[in-house]
Structure 1
Amino acid sequence: MNTMQFDADVAIIGYGPSGVAAANILGKHGIKTIIFEKDKDLYSRARAVTVSDWTMRCFQAIGLDDAVAKDMDETAGLRWIKYDGTEILRMGFPPSILGKHPTSYAIYQPKMEETLRKGVERYKDHCQIYFGSTVNTVSQNAECVELNIIDENQEQRIVRVKYALGCDGGSSKTRESLNIQLVGDTVDTKWVVIDARVKRWWKNRNLLTFWSDQKRPVVDIALSLSNHRWEIPLESHETEQDFQTNEQIWPLLNSMGVTDKEVELYQHAFYRHHVRRAEKWRDGRVFLLGDAAHMMPPWAGAGMQSGIRDAFNLCWKLVEVLNERMPESVLDSYEIERAPNVEFYTQVAVQLGRIIKQQVTEEEMAVIGPQLSAEPPVLKLPEIEAGWVQNVSSSAVGKILPQPKVTDSRGKLGYLDDITDDSIFVLGNRIDPKLVMSAEQISQWDQLNVKYFTLLSAEDDGKGYDDIIDINNTLIDWLNQHKAKTVVVRPDKFIVADDINLNRPSFTF
C-alpha cells in the first residue's frame, strides 16, 4: 500500500495562458492542484493577438467563454498589402461550426488572462497559488515529483506531487531540470513590438494587415479594448538603441500613414522568432506545455493557443487517471496527439511569413492566393491523427464534433456542450446508441462513466430523458455526411470511435 504523503496531486509551474488553463480544468474537477508563479503581478504586455473558435470552445468547457468574449472583438478579416497600397490578398472568416462564437476574435491578452485567473478563484478549495515563488529544480522517482521551491521570502522548501506541468515558457527551468534539449532554430532578425491605444479611427484599421515587403514587413493588428499593435523587423544595420524612445519609433508608423493623431504609444519591446520544440514533452511524471514544449513564429496566431490546447488535451486525461478510471499509460497519448497539430501551425506560420516577407514570386502567389482564400489554413478544423482513438481510417474518428444549438429532452435551448458537459459520451444519430452496441462494448465504456444520448430531429418523438434535439439538423447532416450512426466523444470533443468499431481503444501507444 502506498503511504507516501503528497502536497497536491498536480503542480503547475508557471501561471501564463497554459498554466491558468490547466488550473481551471483541474480545479473544476476537484483535483488538488498547487501553482507556482515567479512573478507577483500579471504580465502587462500583450503578446498573443487572437483566439479561434476552437480555443473559445475550450473556454466554454470551463464556463468562461462568455466572460472572456465580452472583452474581445470579432476579427473582421485579413489582408496582405504593399506599401504602395497594392492589395495582394484578402481573406474573410466563414461561420464557425465549433460553437457559439465567431471563427476568430481579436484579444487583449492581459485582460483575457486576468479573467482566466479570476476563474480559478472559483476553486480555492482545490487550487493553491503561490506568487513570487520560483521552482529551482525538478526531480522525480517512480512515485512522485519533488520541486525545490524558493518562495517570495527567499526561503527554500520541497513540495511533493504526483504529477507536474511545466508551463514556464521558452526558457523553461522545468525543461532544463529534466535535461530535455530544444531542437530547431531562432531567427537572427530582431523585431520591435509597438503597443498603442487608439485615439481616432483610420482607414481599414479593423483588418488584420500584413504589410508585405522584403526589407520592412509589418504585422498591423487591431487588438480589443481600443488597443493596437505593430510588429516590425529591424534591418541588419539597426539595433535596439536606435528605437529607445517614442520619437525614434514614430517614423516606423508614419511610413504606414499612422500619426500621433490616431494613436498614443504606451510601450514597446524587442524579440526574435523561434521555430523550436523540445525533444520530448513527457519525462516520467513531468509534462511540458506551451512554449516550454514548442515555439513558433507569430504569423498564424497559434503560439499561445497551442499551449492552451495542450492543457485541455492533457488535463482531461490527468483527471481520468487520478480518478482511477484510466491507466497512467493514456498520458503517453498527449504528445502523440498534440505534436502533429503544433507542427501544422508552425509550418503555416513559416509559410505565411514567406508571403509577408515577399519571399514568394508573383507566379507562386498567383497559385497560393486563391488557395489561401478558399481554404485558410489557420481555420483548418483540428483532427487527431493517432493517439487515444479507435480506427482513424473511419470518416468521423479523430475529428472534432460540431456544436450546434440544440434542446435537451425537456425543450431547454442551448449549445451541445452545455448539455453533454465534459464527460465522455455516446451519441446515437436518431437511434438509441445502446441498441447498436454489444453488451461487451457497453460494459467497456461504462467503466469510464460515459453518458448516452440520442440525437433527434425536431420532427421526431423523444423518450423524455436522454434526448438531444438537433433543431436545425446541423449535426444530423454532419453525421450523415460521415456515415456515422453512433459516435463516442471524448471530453475534448474529439470523436474516439464510431460504427465501424465501437470498442474502447487500447491504452497502449
Structure 2
Amino acid sequence: MDSDVVIIGAGPAGLMLANILGMYGKSVTVLEGLSSLIDYPRGVGLDDESFRTIQTVGLANAVRPHTSPQHIMRLVNGAGKVILVNNPRTEEFGWERKHSFIQPEVDRALYEGLTRFDNVEVLFGHRVEEVEEDSDGVTAIALVDSESGEVTRRSFRGRFLVGCEGGKSPTRKRLGVSFDGTSPSTRWLVVDVANDPLGTPNVFLGADPKRPYVSIGLPHAVRRWEFMLHDDETEEQVTDPTYVGKLLAHHVPDPAGLDFIRRRVFTHHARVASDFRRGRQLIAGDAAHLMPVWLGQGWNSGVRDATNLGWKLATVLSGQAEYDLLDTYTTERRAHAKAMVDLSLTFGNIIKITNPVAALARDVVSSVLNRFPQIKSYFSEMRFKPMPRYTEGVLADPSDCTSGRADATITSRLVPVRSANIKVSPVGVQFPQPRVTVANAGVVLLDDAIGNWWSVVVWGNSPRDVLPQNALRRLGALGARLVAVLPETQREWAQQHMDADVLIVGDHTGLLKKWFDDRPTPLIFLRPDRFVAGACLTQNGPATLDAILASMSFIEHTPVEASDTAPDAM
C-alpha cells in the first residue's frame, strides 16, 4: 500500500501532520498500535501558535468548544498567598495566548478532520515492528491482530516516514540519534475528576514546601490536581482512593464525593533528540523532545513540529525543492524545543522547593519584584516565554541578503533603517494576524484571507509594481500569492486599479500600518507556516527572494498560478 508519507502514531503531532499533508493533497497512511485514540486527559495547555495552525487546517470551529481561552495562572505559596500572576492579554497571532483544553476531545477533532481527505487513512491496531529504507522510499511492516486471534503482517510503503509514537519512539532509536537531557527523580500523582467540586476556573500552582501541587480548572467541568510525591510513597499507596482523599483534604470540602476519571503516577522528563531526521525517516512530537509539564508546552511543541515539517514535506514531494530542505526542520525546531525544555525545568525548580528556608527566600524575592510594574508585567504578559526565532534555515538576512541565515538586528546606513522605531529583524519570527477587510468576504483573520501557502505582502502598493518580471516569474513557480495591504480608505480604489491576481487587503484596524510603520521592511515574504522568510525595502525584493529560494534548495518549474494549495499544482 503506497502513500507519500507513512506516519507512525495517532497522537497530536501525527494527527496534525496528517491534516497538513492532506490539506496539501499528499497521500498519508497513519499507523497506530492502539485500538483507538487515548481517551483520558493528558495535556491541559493550548497556546495561540497552535490555534493558528488549527485555524490553517480548518478545524478551529471543531476545537473551540473544548477550550477555555484566556487561562490565568497564579503561583501561590504554602500559605495560599499569590506571589505571581500569569495573564497575557495579547491576541497578536489572532487567538488568545493561552487556553486550557481537553486533549482527548481536541485530538478527536484532529482525527475526525482527516475524514475530509480521501488521500489520508488512519489504521488502528497496527504495531510497526520493522522499517526498511532504500534509495526510493521506506517500508513499514506492521503486525495486526485479527478477530480470530491470528497475527498478520502488513507492509506499507511511503516516500518518507515520520515517527510520532511518543517518548519511547522506536523510530528515534532506529535513527541512532541521542536523546539528551535528564529525567528528574521527583514523581507526581495526577488526579483528574469530573463535575469539578470547586468550579473555579484557571490554574493554581502551589509552591508549598510541604508538598508542591497543581490545581487546574479545565473545560467540561473537569479538574486536575497534581501532587509531588515523597520518596517513601509507593505508587500503589498513593493511588489508593483513601490516600488520595487525604491529599485532597485541604483542597476539597468532601474528597469522598469526587467522580474520579483517573489516578496515575508519572515522572517528568527533559530531553531533546540530537537530530530530527536521518535519510527518509524523521521524528516529531514527544519522539523528538520531552519536556516537564509546568508551562503546558508538550502538546504545543508537537504541533509546532508538524507546522514546520508539513509544508516542507509537501514542497519536496511536489518536486519544488531538493531533499536538503528537510535538514532545515532540525535546524529550525531543535533550538526552540530545547529552550522550552530548559525554561520548563527552571520553572519547575522554582515551584517544587521543599526546603522551608529556600521557599521563604523565594517568596520574599517574589514580593519585592512584584513592586516593580515592569518586572511584574514581564511575568504577567508571559514575556519570559521564548518565542520561536529562526536564525538559520529558510531565511534571508535583512541587511545583506545572505541566504540561509538571519541576524536578529537590521544594520544599514540608509535613513529608513537608521530612523526606524524597531530595528529588531522580523525575519525568522511569526508575522502577526490581525483582522482585515477583503472584498466579498468582509472582515476575516489575515491567514484566512491570504491562504495557506507562500505569500508576498507589500504595504501600500502592488507586488506587481515593485518587483521585476523575473522575480514575479519565480514567485509564480513557487505558487506564492501576491498581497497588497492598504489602509481601508484606499481598498476600493485599489480594487479598480491593481491587477486582478493581486489580493487587496484593507487594514481597517490600523494594526498592520503600525507594524510596517515601526519597521523598515515594507515587503515581506511569508512562509506557509506564517514565519517571515524575508523582509526588506522594496528595491531589495529580488535579491531577498533569490536568497530565500537558495536557502530552500528550490527547483524551478514552469510557473503556475498561485493557489491556496500550491503543492497540488505541481
TM-score range, shorter chain: over 0.9
Q: Does the 8 Å CA contact 1:68/1:115 hold for their aligned counterparts? A: yes
Deviations 1:348-396 (A, max 9, x none): 2112112212367336544496364254146554322221011123422
Query: Which secondary structure does the structure 1 equivalent of 2:255 belong to?
Result: coil
Match of 1:3 in 2: none
Deviation by residue 1:72-92 (Cα, 9 ceiling, x = unmatched): 112341111123222211221
What CA distance in whole angstroms lies between the structure 1 residues aligned with 2:383 and 2:164? 27
Distance 1:236 1:402 in 2: 47
* Equivalent position to 2:313, from 310, 318, 325: 318
Equivalent in the alignment of 2:508: 471
Aligned to 1:84: 79
**Matched residue, 2:163:** 166
Letter in 2 for 1:400: Q
User: Residue 177 of structure 2 aligns with which residue?
Assistant: 180
Cα shift readout 1:225-279 (whole Å, capped 9, x = no counterpart): 1101111111011110212322210111112345338842221111111011222
Question: Is 1:148 aligned to 2:170, yes or no?
Answer: no
Aligned-partner SS, 2:314: helix
**What is the number of equivalent residue pairs in this alignment?**
500
Structure 1 segment 43-442 matched on structure 2, within 5 A: 43-99=38-94, 101-123=95-117, 125-153=118-146, 154-201=151-198, 205-257=200-252, 259-260=254-255, 263-358=258-353, 361-362=361-362, 364-365=365-366, 366-367=368-369, 370=376, 372-373=378-379, 375-377=381-383, 380-391=386-397, 392-393=406-407, 394=410, 395-410=425-440, 412-442=442-472
The residue that corresponds to 1:42 in the other structure is 37
Could you tell me whether the CA contact under 8 Å between 1:217 and 1:357 is conserved in 2? yes
Q: Does residue 1:462 correspond to 2:494, yes or no?
A: yes
Q: Is the 8 A contact 2:88 2:380 kept in 1?
A: no
Deviation at 1:474, TM superposition (A): 0.8
CA contact (8 A) 1:91 1:373 kept: yes
Q: Percent identity?
A: 28
Say which SS state the counterpart of residue 300 (structure 1) adopts. coil
Aligned match of 1:444: 474
C-alpha contact 1:409 1:462 (8 A) present in aligned 2: no
> Structure 2: any 5+ residue segments left out of the alignment?
398-405, 411-424, 554-570
Q: Which whole-Å CA distance do the structure 1 matches of 2:460 and 2:255 have between them? A: 60
Q: Is the 8 A contact 1:345 1:378 kept in 2?
A: no
Distance change in 2, residues 1:388/1:95 (3 Å): same
Distance of aligned partners of 1:198 and 1:75 in 2 relative to their CA distance in 1, 3 Å threshold: farther
2: distance between equivalents of 1:198 and 1:46?
Answer: 14
TM-score normalised to the size of structure 2?
Answer: 0.84
8 Å CA contact 1:246–1:265 kept in 2: the answer is no
Residue 498 (structure 1) shift: 1.6
1:42 and 1:215 map into 2 onto residues whose CA distance is 37
Task: Report the Cα distance in structure 1 between the residues aligned to 2:42 and 2:56, rounded to whole angstroms.
Answer: 24
Q: Give, in whole Å, the separation in 2 of the partners of 1:447 and 1:381.
A: 31
CA shift at 1:503, angstroms?
Answer: 2.0
Q: Helix, strand or coil: the match of 2:5? A: strand
Q: Is the 8 A contact 1:423 1:491 kept in 2?
A: yes
Distance 1:118 1:378, change over 3 A: farther
Question: Which 10-residue stretch deviates more, 27-36 or 352-361?
Answer: 352-361
Cα contact 2:78–2:209 (8 A) shared by 1: no
Q: Return the structure number with greater helix share.
A: 2
Distance 2:173 2:324 in 1: 24
Give, in angstroms, the shift of residue 9 of structure 1: 0.7
Query: In structure 2, the residue corresponding to 1:462 is in which secondary structure?
Result: helix
- Shift of the 411–176 alpha-carbon distance from structure 1 to 2, 3 Å rule, reads closer
Counterpart pick for 1:503 among 533, 545, 549: 545
Query: What amino acid is aligned across from residue 162 of structure 2 in structure 1?
Result: L
Equivalent residue number for residue 422 of structure 2 = none
**Residues 88 and 381 in structure 2, CA contact (< 8 A), matched pair in contact too:** no
Is residue 492 from structure 1 mapped to residue 487 from structure 2 by the alignment? no
Q: Is the 8 A contact 2:202 2:218 kept in 1?
A: no
Bigger shift: 49-58 or 246-255? 246-255
Q: CA deviation at 1:214?
A: 3.1
Report SS of the residue matched to 1:423.
Answer: coil
Change (3 A) 1:396 1:372: closer
**Contact 2:195–2:259 at 8 Å: present in 1 too?**
yes
Specify the SS of the correspondent of 2:275.
coil
Instruction: Report deviation, 1:410.
Output: 4.1
Deviations 1:485-507 (A, max 9, x none): 11010111111112255323223
Pick closer, same or farther for the CA change 1:183–1:84 going to 2, 3 Å. Answer: same
State the 1:442 CA deviation: 2.5
The CA distance in 1 between the partners of 2:180 and 2:281, in whole Å, is 19
Is the 1:138–1:178 contact (alpha carbons within 8 Å) kept by the matching residues of 2?
no
